[in-house]
Amino acid sequence: METSHVSALQLKHAGLERRIHEELSRPMPDDAVVQSLKKRKLRLKEELARH
């Protein structure tokens, strides 16, 4: 597996983590947005685990 591909996945994962935190920090977090971001983050984590 290319290191650059793994690095790109890790960056995307970190970006999603940040977006989840930002959404949860809002006065009225949007649960649908949070759930969507968490699902995307989980898929990235699973892909990283395969590599």
pLDDT per position as a tens digit, 1-51: 578 999 999 999 999 999 999 999 999 999 999 999 999 999 999 999 998
Angle between helices 3-25 and 31-50 (to 10 degrees): 160
Count of the separate structural domains present in the chain: 1
1 in Cβ contact with 51 (< 8 Å): yes
pLDDT of amino acid 46: 96
44 in Cβ contact with 16 (< 8 Å): yes
Note down the domain range covering 18. Answer: 3-50
- Terminal CA-to-CA distance of the chain, rounded, Å? 6
pLDDT of amino acid 25: 98
pLDDT of amino acid 40: 98
pLDDT of amino acid 17: 97
Question: How would you classify residue 28: left for phi > 0, otherwise alpha for psi between -120 and 50, otherwise beta?
Answer: beta
